[in-house]
Amino acid sequence: MSHHATPSAEQRQPAETAPLWRRAAALFYDLLFVIALVILATFLALAVTRGEPVPPDGPGQWLYRAWLMAWIAGYFVFFWCRFGQTPGMKVWRLLLLRQPGPCAGPAFLRFLFGVLSLCLAGLPFLLAITDAKRQTWVDRRLDMRVVRLLPTRR
């Protein structure tokens, strides 16, 4: 597996499969960025509606929800494909390894699985505990792995 951004020292240092608690901590950290993105996306939506709130039901609400999900998906897909890690993953020294080839499609599927996992109270994510390589079902299917970067020895 490889990561497809500009090679850095981080990518050459030793790594081990990331424990689930570190992945959850990184996701919590990323939640702060996602909240900021949702605020920005809402501000832009209000500019389109000339400051009027989106009606609580009807097609406008579904369009607004899809708009927000597109921003959130874009955040994860962009960082996974461009850098192999989100800002939260970087803080927790995690890196997403994947096979060479197109990234956006598999990263988007990984995002959708994450949303599904959250909707199911994290159960699909927690089932990675039973996997020998600590991979989620979708990471096995997409041939991806989240690793913890170990400190380099000097």
**Looking at residue 5, what is its pLDDT?**
45
**Looking at residue 137, what is its pLDDT?**
87
Tell me if residue 49 falls in helix, strand or coil. coil
Residue found under tokens 């020292």 = 9
**Looking at residue 12, what is its pLDDT?**
55
DSSP class of 2 = B
**Looking at residue 125, what is its pLDDT?**
86
Residue found under tokens 């994860």 = 76
**Looking at residue 1, what is its pLDDT?**
53
**Looking at residue 154, what is its pLDDT?**
63
Q: Express each pLDDT in 34-49 by its tens digit.
A: 999 999 999 999 998 8
pTM, two decimal places: 0.86
Tokens describing residue 59? 């097609």
Measured distance CA(98)–CA(113) in Å, rounded? 16
DSSP class of 127 = G
Stretches in the chain below the pLDDT threshold 70: 1-13, 153-154
**Looking at residue 13, what is its pLDDT?**
65
Q: Express each pLDDT in 22-34 by its tens digit.
A: 999 999 999 999 9
**Looking at residue 83, what is its pLDDT?**
97
Measured distance CA(94)–CA(26) in Å, rounded? 8
